[in-house]
A and B are shown apart, each in its own frame.
Chain A
Amino acid sequence: MELDPVFLSRLQFAFVVTFHAIFPVFTIGLASYLALLYGLLVRTGNPAWERLAEFWTKVFAIVFGMGVVSGIVMAFQFGTNWSNFSQATSNFIGPMLSYEVVTAFFLEAGFLGVLLFGRERVSPRVHLFAAIMVALGTFISAFWILSTNSWMQTPAGYEMRDGMVHVTSWIEAIFNPSFPYRFMHMALASFLTGGFVVCGVSAWYLLRGHDVEANRKALSMSLWLLLFATPAQAIIGDFHGVNTLEHQPTKVAAMEGNWERDAGVPLLLFAWPDQEGATNHFEIGIPHAASLILTHDPNGVVPGLTDVPADQRPPVWITFFSFRVMVGLGVLMIAFAVAGLLLRRGDRVYHNRFFLQGLRLMTVSPFIAVTAGWFVTEVGRAPWLIYGVMTQAEAVTPSLSGWMALTTLIGYILVYAVVFIAGVYYLGRVIRQGMVEGDVQDVQDVTRAMRPMSASHVPFDDGQYQPPNADSRS
């Protein structure tokens, strides 16, 4: 069998970035939630906010640690597997990625330590300030990464000289056409992720009667957030889609499974795209709906995949189905947010077992939706790495052979499997232990390490942990 270094490198990058992305998408949302909790604590002095803040800080620490560990690899992959891309675009990509590192450093050096370990060493207001700065820092970090990715989707503010990108306007390059939409879409996705995880864990605690007072508060405030954020995400998503239609018509054609450029195109609920035959099988659609959504006109023209030669079309079925998974989960999220509002009458929101069990299951939904969304935008860009400028085949490292890429692909899968299993297993133990007073930090212990996971004292592997006490606090 012939091993294709381009395909294997794509697979490898997809694996690493997918694995990594689930951590920051959660920590960005959770960091803002922590800032809110510490803010409420400073304002009201209610100990329920304190228990919530301390518990979610522990979770934040572990997820943040795993995100850092899994992220290191990507900084090297640009060079190992995509050296032609890195070389050609270094004048732009280099400073952008470096600024992300610089931002992350600044965060780590200044405020993360204070947030995780400084509660007894600084005043509550200074601690709150640190929490806000950490939340802000996660957004600034995302800013650089998403700007770089958006530039690869909709390049701007540059000129090519001798095969090298030279930046002519940093403002135009950084704020390229798709960036504002992608950033808003991702920021909301982070809030949705944080919101659904907090909802899911709170729902589980309520089902078990653990610290009912605090978890009711957490559930209620997250549901209010979701009530506004889920429909807002649908609206932003629509704007993002219209922007993609303008700049990357082929990607939209793949998302819609639309082969022929046409007016009055139906919205396909299901189809089996046939890349070879350039057609769909088993189509079920709503007439004119795709035209209506994309062009806001039932008879608007939607581009088709056959507008470009066969070798410039992305893998349609991945783009098509990923898009449906993302949108389907988005609709389900809106349904849960609305149900949460309706169930507030008579406090059923805290007691309805079906709703609480449903929220528990919904904990995974934002992770799947975000991953599917990235599959749409990244796979839908193929065969381009920089849309319209450089293909993936041109971008790959020339000296890379198929077996080298395969070796490291398998290697990274094994390494990440260990990291993931250990991390998630441990996170599960922390969540099972729940909100325990006095578990957070030892004041006198100056030799305590200032590292993310030392924010938690839950043991890793023996049976000594205490199961959540039945309603010990309310």
Chain B
Amino acid sequence: MLGNLDLSLIWAAIIAFGVIMYVLMDGFDLGVGLLFPFAPDEEARDVMMNSVAPIWDGNETWLVLGGAGLIGAFPLVYTILLPALYLGVFLMLAGLIFRGIAFEFRFKARSAKKWWNIAFAGGSAVATFAQGAVVGAYIQGFETQDRVYTGGAFDWLTPFSVLTGLGMLAGFALLGATWVAMKTEGYIQRWARGLVVKLLLAVLAVFVVVSLWTPFINASVRERWFDHLEIIWLLPALALGCAALIGWGVKRERDILPFLATMGLFIFTYLGLLVSRWPYVVPPDYTLWDAASAPESQLFLLVGVLFVIPIVLGYTAWSYWVFRGKVRLGEGYH
């Protein structure tokens, strides 16, 4: 019976789920870091950081789970993407590390606080840009021969990937702003709400340019969208619907709706990206079946992962429940 199960498809679903969980969840706490330098005052920064402090490292566990799943289930993705994105990966890790220790030490610092502010905002910006550039590099595809990356050190850094990097900065900042607007009140909430529309316009601008640009970069993506699969046009339509909801929600001063709609915007854009490249996981040459590890290895790992994912989901849901509601000045983490 197991022989009929396509383990590679199951694994593709698990990893795709892990990636979007990571993007949505680490997205808003990276976004909070991006907005840090523009916050009205130091107290607002305290509140903003308090709003994500209890959950951010749980959010990043999804990145590690995704990475570990990749080397276990689709090693070819791991061994081509990491060499191809070598310097970008370093920047992302350096950014995440600085951000991580800033979380730990800023709360305990007094005169050194401004340095940890810089580490937090700078680390968030570098990590976000690197992640956005990875998306751009992924759409472009990778130069390979005999299952080995053969391109140069800066192939990933092109005008297109810079654009997607900037788009990611705007997108995560939008997630961060809607999060802050949901979790705070008073002048901090008003400030965050004021940012939402501007950031949304920036995101939409990048969204439009990337959508128009992509078909020219890549013939297979163009065929996918302009061939006969009309149903997939639902995805960008739903994404734009979410954008409209964000604008409407902010205007009506809704607390939760803009944040949820921003998540929707990310989810539908992400699905659109998956559809563009399916079933290639290392575009343009290798499909998910080419990239898979041996079935016995995929099965060996699947047992443990299926056991742990529900626990991680439960733990995540529980910690969000515990830390629900508004964050106020001078309470919480110190």
In the assembled complex, the Cα of A235 lies from the Cα of B150 at a distance in Å of 49
Are the CB atoms of B308 and A94 closer together than 8 Å? no
Q: 4 additional contacts, CB 8 Å, given A83-B78, A86-B71, A399-B153? A: A83-B79, A95-B300, A101-B65, A398-B148
Contact A426 B105 (CB under 8 A): yes
Interface residues of A (CB under 8 A from B): 65, 69, 72-73, 75-76, 78-80, 83-84, 86-87, 90-95, 97-102, 105-106, 108-110, 164, 166-167, 170, 397-401, 404, 407-408, 411-412, 415, 418-419, 422-423, 426, 445-454, 456-462
Residues of B within 8 A of A404 (CB): 86-87, 153
Asked if A447 and B331 sit within 8 Å, CB to CB, the answer is yes
The 13 sampled A-B contact pairs (Cβ below 8 Å) are A72-B97, A76-B82, A90-B75, A90-B297, A91-B293, A94-B71, A95-B300, A108-B61, A408-B87, A419-B101, A451-B103, A458-B108, A460-B108
B101 touches A422 (CB 8 A): yes
Give the chain A neighbours of B101 by CB distance below 8 A.
Answer: 69, 418-419, 422-423
* CB neighbors of A among B66-104 (8 A): 67-69, 71-73, 75-76, 78-84, 86-87, 89-90, 93-94, 96-98, 100-101, 103-104
Query: Which residues on the B side are within 8 Å of A450 (C-beta)?
Result: 54, 319
Residues in A neighbouring B110, C-beta threshold 8 A? 459-462
A72 touches B301 (CB 8 A): no
Residues of B within 8 A of A (CB): 50, 53-54, 57, 61, 64-65, 67-69, 71-73, 75-76, 78-84, 86-87, 89-90, 93-94, 96-98, 100-101, 103-105, 107-112, 147-153, 293-294, 296-297, 300-301, 304-305, 307-308, 311-312, 315, 319, 322-323, 327, 331-333
A460: nearest chain-B partner, CB-CB: B108
Return chain B residues, CB-CB under 8 Å to A449. 53-54, 332-333
Set of chain A residues within 8 Å of B83, measured between Cβ atoms: 79-80, 83, 397-400
Q: How many A-B residue pairs have CB under 8 A?
A: 209
Which among A78, A90, A400 has the greatest number of chain B C-beta atoms within 10 A? A90
Contact A75 B150 (CB under 8 A): no
Residues in B whose Cβ lies below 8 Å from that of A95 = 72, 293, 297, 300-301
Q: Is the CB of A72 within 8 A of B293?
A: no
Q: Is B112 touching A461 in the complex (CB atoms < 8 A)?
A: yes
Complex: chain A residue closest to B106, CB-CB: A460
Whole-angstrom distance between the alpha carbons of A124 and B57 in the complex?
27
Q: In the assembled complex, which residues on chain B have CB atoms less than 8 Å from the CB atom of A91?
A: 75, 293-294, 296-297
In the assembly, what is the distance between CA of A407 and CA of B91, in Å? 11
Nearest Cβ distance between residue A167 and chain B, in whole angstroms? Answer: 7
Give the distance in Å from the alpha carbon of A462 to the alpha carbon of B114 in the complex. 14
A460 vs chain B, min Cβ distance (A): 4
CB of A147, distance to nearest CB on chain B (Å): 13
The residue that B89 contacts in the complex, of A76, A453, A456, with Cβ under 8 A, is A76
Chain A CB within 10 Å, residue with most, of B83, B87, B93, B300: B83
Contact B73 A94 (CB under 8 A): yes
Contacts of A401 in B (CB 8 A): 153
With a cutoff of 8 Å between Cβ atoms, the chain A residues found around residue B64 in the complex are 72, 75, 101, 105
Contact B301 A87 (CB under 8 A): no
Cβ contacts under 8 Å, B305 to chain A: 98, 102
Closest to B334 in A: A457
Q: Are A72 and B96 in contact (CB under 8 A)?
A: yes
Q: Which residues from B are CB-within-8-Å of A462?
A: 110-111
Choice from B50, B108, B148 contacting A447 with Cβ under 8 Å: B50
- Whether B71 pairs with A99 at a CB distance below 8 angstroms is no
- The answer to whether A109 and B78 have CB atoms under 8 Å apart is no
In the complex, A164→B297 CA distance in Å? 13
- Residues in chain A near residue B81, CB distance under 8 A: 79
**B54–A447 touching, CB < 8 Å:** yes
A411 contacts B103, CB within 8 Å? no
* Residue from A92, A105, A460 within 8 A of B61 (CB atoms): A105
* Chain A residues near B108 (CB-CB < 8 A): 426, 456-461
- B294 close to A166 (CB less than 8 A): yes
B contact residues around A458 at 8 Å (CB): 108
